[in-house]
Amino acid sequence: MDIQQERICIKCGNQMIKCYVADGFKGLLVKNPEGDGLFSNKKNTNINPFICTNCGFAEWYAEDPEKLK
C-alpha cells in the first residue's frame, strides 16, 4: 500500500513527517492475534510513526493494513 508521506497533525494542524523506529528501518512488526492459529502468522504488517514537528504528537500507520484481515 502506498501511504501518504505527509499528514497534518490533528492536535495543532502542523505538518507531520514520516519517521521510523531505530530498531528496524522497515518499522515495527505487528500481528493480528487471529492469525496465531495458522501455521505461520501471515496476518502481519509493519507500522511506522508520523510525528508532528511542532507538538510532538505521534500517529502510527500500518504499511500494509489489508494484510491483517
Nearer to Zn ion, 16 or 62 (CB): 16
Sort 50 into a burial class: Cβ within 10 Å, 0-12 / 13-18 / 19+: buried
Query: How near is the Cβ of 66 to Zn ion at its closest, in Å?
Result: 28
CA nearest neighbour of 63 among 50, 49, 51, 46: 46
Residue 42 CA, chain-centre distance (Å), reads: 17
Binding flags for Zn ion, 1-40, as an x/- string (CB under 5 A): --------x-xx-x--------------------------
Q: Which residues bind Zn ion (CB under 5 A)?
A: 9, 11-12, 14, 52, 54-55, 57
